[in-house]
């Protein structure tokens, strides 16, 4: 996470760093390292920087909302990522669909 923060400090418009930090803050398996509110902040910035056209940023925002317990928004944003699609990456698309099912069940996503 320190590397993502350093990248953002060097280039505040680095969308991938914002999305990656948001993803880590939302989905890290260790409770003490997750921070849903910060994850939402970084993911919103990544979505803004990419014009809401990047599946990584949208998925990070979905995971961040799920971490905060806002599963309605999590589902909404993960579905938006699916509408953009994952051309040539059926495994990523399948993982995105599984995250929607988690969010529908009221559960946040955790990296393994």
pLDDT tens column, 24-74: 999 999 999 999 999 999 999 999 999 999 999 999 999 999 999 999 999
At residue 15, the pLDDT reads: 98
What are the tens digits of pLDDT across the range 94-104?
999 999 999 99
Contact assessment for residue 74 and residue 62, using Cβ atoms and an 8 Å cutoff: yes
Distance CA 89, CA 87 (A): 5
Distance CA 110, CA 94 (A): 16
What are the chain's domains?
Answer: 2-104 (1.25.40.10)
Of 16, 29, 21, 15, the residue nearest 2 (C-alpha): 21
Which residues 6+ apart lie within 8 Å of 76 measured at CB? 62
DSSP letter (8 states) at residue 33: G
Task: Return the axis-axis angle of helices 55-67 and 36-49, rounded to nearest 10°.
Answer: 160
């Amino acid at each position: 996470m320190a590397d993502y923060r350093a990248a953002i400090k060097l280039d505040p418009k680095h969308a991938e760093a914002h999305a990656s930090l948001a993803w880590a803050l939302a989905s890290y398996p260790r409770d003490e390292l997750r921070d849903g509110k910060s994850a939402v902040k970084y993911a919103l910035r990544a979505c803004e920087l990419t014009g809401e056209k990047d599946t990584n940023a949208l998925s990070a925002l979905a995971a961040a909302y799920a971490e905060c317990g806002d599963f309605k928004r999590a589902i909404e944003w993960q579905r938006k990522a699916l509408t953009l699609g994952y051309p040539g990456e059926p495994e990523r698309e399948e993982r995105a669909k599984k995250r929607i099912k988690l969010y529908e069940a009221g559960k946040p996503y955790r990296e393994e």
